[in-house]
Structure 1
């Protein structure tokens, strides 16, 4: 599970879900008795059975929609439920919750006034539906919610802290930041420690990037957009999705493709390597 897979649009959905949960405990309808002595001003929230099916069609539907949208970010690409991806189910459910909430505002019994919970519920469901629908269409909402790249696990079975010159930008660095010692990303610096503890050769001894089938030196890289990581057996099954803003370790080259390792130790083939940034 990689929390950096979440986008700003997902953050909108999560925030709307929190607001919706709070609104469910506030008054949905209130009764204004005026000067009548036969009743008293009071209100009830959506958890009361008097307003069924308000609870399942608005509040529970919205909360389940948010859970499905967020859960989809941690699932391999291509996984679906009855032919639809989890985020597609969540998006449809969020629109349904907003539609149901809108009609309770427009209609409703004349003896009741709109409660705070009803108004906040409409705002929350509309925000959730907008976040779910616009995340893949508005560039600002596609930006990762969190950035940064903690050191990943070593491909040789123990945890190590990569040093500058190996390709990893160093602790706390982000994708897009300049490499240590003023160099360019992907260019090892003379005298800096190598991947196995030795020093990097000077400029005269450095060779160009090896072709497929030659010697390969592992390096850290980041992808410009989310890309699937396929199984090493050559099948079309995806084992993970690489997210922008996170560093991954390339451990092998297969033609134009790379065998990459995620931070939780999973390995797979990145077929689309265009535009990747070397650490």
Structure 2
């Protein structure tokens, strides 16, 4: 997997560079449609109201993204739910979160986005995260670097965990088997890191790691739409993405650890014993 520490250098193809521009346009259009539905005053009264609003948001975004991405890559398959936590068969797959952070969108919070990644033969090769609030567009190409609004991203140069800002969070709402591991990992990191943050969705702390604002991110039982784009952003910004035990990460891995290179070994030392 190209996100491992031994990743072999690659060069972005001309075809993928052109494809990236088209994906950005589709993500911007979907983001614009979601922004028209967004209100800082939104306060759903109960779970049912929250899910109604979230479902409507997803339908609006997918109505734009699905035909646009299908037209760009007719042979690429659309990731079904059953493959979100398993290894992918060979070929190209669109890995999309049409409203990443939907729970924030429906509560009037700004941390939501449109996230699109193209996975080819088990490796993310293209990623776009469009965040309308703030007019932020994150892009990455395998072998072509990662950018925010066209400016290169670079991970942190920190080498000591006691100076690090680290992040984790739950991947889904109903993963009871992982809750204790999350708690133990947070407690372990509280003893070692400068600051520990816990939240959702996973894309945003991964973008902060790619930009060097934060230093480490880990998650148990991640879903691929939540981490595919961020994994490529981080590796292309000079970071390392593995499993929490330091083994190579790939789609379907049951854990993910992303960090600046100077902190990876220390993060593995803290997290690997937690089972």
Classify the TM-score, shorter chain: under 0.3
| TM superposition score normalised by structure 2 | 0.26
Higher helix content, 1 or 2: 2
Higher strand content, 1 or 2: 2
- Rg larger in 1 or in 2? 1
Q: Which has the higher contact order (CA 8 A, sep 6+)?
A: 2
